[in-house]
Amino acid sequence: MWEDIFQAIDEQYEQMVETRRFLHQYPEVSFHEEKTAQFIVDTYERIGIPYESHVGGNGVLATLKGGRPGKTVALRADFDALPIEELNDVEYKSKNPGAMHACGHDGHTAALLGLAESLLPYKDELPGTIVFVHQHAEEYAPGGAKPIIDSGKLDHVDAVFGTHVWVNAPTGVIQTARGPFMAGADRFEITIQGRGGHGAQPHQTKDAVVIGSQLVTQLQQVVSRRVDPLKTAVLSVGTFESGHTFNIIADSAKLTGTVRTFDPEVQTLIIEEMEKIIKGTCVSSGAEYEFNYEKGYPPVVNHPEEAGLVLDRSQEADPSLSTEEIEPVMAGEDFAYYLLEKPGAFYFTGAQIPEHYYPHHHPKFDFDENALVHAAKTLLQAFRSYQETHS
């Protein structure tokens, strides 16, 4: 049976590509994915798998109950896009100005829908139950995973698996870790209120640009000089907004950025040290400030047994695949919330186009669509492996 299903997934390739490219043309950003959710609902209507919509917001859950006893396993794909203007010159380029699938979530959705359709003819032979979790709003905290969990619709699930197409790895390579895999992702905003004035009379001002520039530099010392070098952390200032014209000294400035950690103690230390540096810099310059720190997604920490199933048994889905256990990466993912509630694992499905390599969240991002089949097959293999080890 399993070989027949893997073959059926191969035969779904063109449909998965068509689905992915359609979704790519009509991206919707986090918490605004109404038409995308409706497309998912329409697909399950067409293929005849029961579903629930508007779960935790725009989420969609579809359930395929096998004819044999077994565990209930959730397989998750996210479907939101990013507020990015696409720069690719392709026939499936985004038609929604200012929105783009620049991270591969269109591919996740296409792969999961393709897997669902491939499985349907074999449902009477399947052990256990699959819950297809189509999640909204991964890109923007507080995200869509937590509301879906809070809905109680996954309380009966025994395990959860998910994957992310990953252009940092070659096509055909599956990557994950037995334990910490992706970092906790926080954001911060610093507002500086100085006193503006004439560009030729700086002594009469409290220059917000100079103060902000000092902060950009001094905040780098938090990780390099405050955090234990054996611990992992990132602090990045992403935006610096100030001033309106060349000959006026700005009275205010706003900085925003992100902090990535794995250890809650390191997270607390960074927040405290940032506050000290911001306060000291602004007080010494006679400026006022506001510091807002928003704790975002927790770290993605895989359960060792479930991550081992991905690493040790993915090649059973397709002998051409290879697996790698890698060091954790500093990107964040709200899949973390599922793993706080249930055993499971998250992993990367290699999807690099060597001649067109642009990173995730880049306006020219694209990925090798052969990864759609690999994602679908390895998700199925994770389900199969979990059933066989827990029967």
Of 269, 297, 325, which residue is a domain's last? 297
Question: DSSP 3-state helix, strand, coil percentages of the chain (rounded to 5)?
Answer: 40, 30, 30
Place of tokens 């189509």: 134
CA angle 194, 198, 204 (to 5 degrees): 55
> Do 165 and 54 fall into the same domain?
yes
> Do 103 and 24 fall into the same domain?
yes
Distance, in Å, from the CA atom of 126 to the CA atom of 386, rounded to the nearest integer, reads 13
Q: What is the mean predicted confidence (pLDDT) over 98-106?
A: 98
For the question of residue 80 being annotated catalytic, the response is yes
> Do 177 and 138 fall into the same domain?
yes
Residue 293: predicted pLDDT: 98
- Using an 8 Å Cβ cutoff, are 244 and 194 in contact? no
pLDDT in tens, 347-372: 999 999 999 999 999 999 999 999 99
> Do 228 and 314 fall into the same domain?
no
- Using an 8 Å Cβ cutoff, are 108 and 39 in contact? no
Model confidence at 112, pLDDT cuts 50, 70, 90, reads very high
Residue 118: predicted pLDDT: 98
Q: What is the CATH number of the domain that holds 9?
A: 3.40.630.10
Q: What is the mean predicted confidence (pLDDT) over 168-189?
A: 98
> Do 197 and 277 fall into the same domain?
yes
> Do 132 and 215 fall into the same domain?
no
Model confidence at 65, pLDDT cuts 50, 70, 90, reads very high
Active-site pick, 33, 80, 117, 368 = 80
Distance, in Å, from the CA atom of 320 to the CA atom of 78, rounded to the nearest integer, reads 26
Under DSSP, is residue 94 helix (H, G, I), strand (E, B) or coil?
Answer: coil
- Using an 8 Å Cβ cutoff, are 252 and 193 in contact? yes
pLDDT in tens, 117-154: 999 999 999 999 999 999 999 999 999 999 999 999 99
> Do 229 and 360 fall into the same domain?
no
> Do 243 and 275 fall into the same domain?
yes
> Do 241 and 123 fall into the same domain?
no
Q: What is the mean predicted confidence (pLDDT) over 229-258?
A: 97
Q: Supply 45's token pair.
A: 């209507």
Of 239, 270, 297, which residue is a domain's last? 297
Active-site pick, 138, 251, 273, 306 = 138
Residues of the domain holding 285: 184-297
Model confidence at 203, pLDDT cuts 50, 70, 90, reads very high
pLDDT in tens, 302-311: 999 999 999 9
Q: Supply 168's token pair.
A: 């940092």
Model confidence at 52, pLDDT cuts 50, 70, 90, reads very high
Residue 130: predicted pLDDT: 98
Structural domain count, the chain: 2
Residue 169: predicted pLDDT: 98
> Do 283 and 375 fall into the same domain?
no
| Residues contributing to the annotated binding site for Mn(2+) | 103, 105, 139, 164, 361
DSSP assignment of 246-299: TTEE-SEEEEEEEEEES-HHHHHHHHHHHHHHHHHHHHHHT-EEEEEEEEEEPP
Residue type, 283: V
> Do 289 and 336 fall into the same domain?
no
Q: What is the mean predicted confidence (pLDDT) over 6-21?
A: 98
Residue type, 327: E
- Using an 8 Å Cβ cutoff, are 141 and 85 in contact? no
- Using an 8 Å Cβ cutoff, are 309 and 382 in contact? yes
Of 265, 297, 329, which residue is a domain's last? 297
Distance, in Å, from the CA atom of 53 to the CA atom of 252, rounded to the nearest integer, reads 45
Residue 391 has pLDDT above 90, yes or no: no
Residue 364: predicted pLDDT: 98
> Do 275 and 219 fall into the same domain?
yes
Average pLDDT, the chain: 98
For the question of residue 34 being annotated catalytic, the response is no
- Using an 8 Å Cβ cutoff, are 339 and 184 in contact? no
Q: What is the mean predicted confidence (pLDDT) over 166-192?
A: 98
Query: Can you give the C-alpha Rg of the chain in angstroms?
Result: 23
pLDDT cut 90: percent of the chain above it:
99
Residue 331: predicted pLDDT: 95
Q: Nearest CA to 299 among 186, 183, 179?
A: 183
Q: What is the CATH number of the domain that holds 250?
A: 3.30.70.360
Residue 6 has pLDDT above 90, yes or no: yes
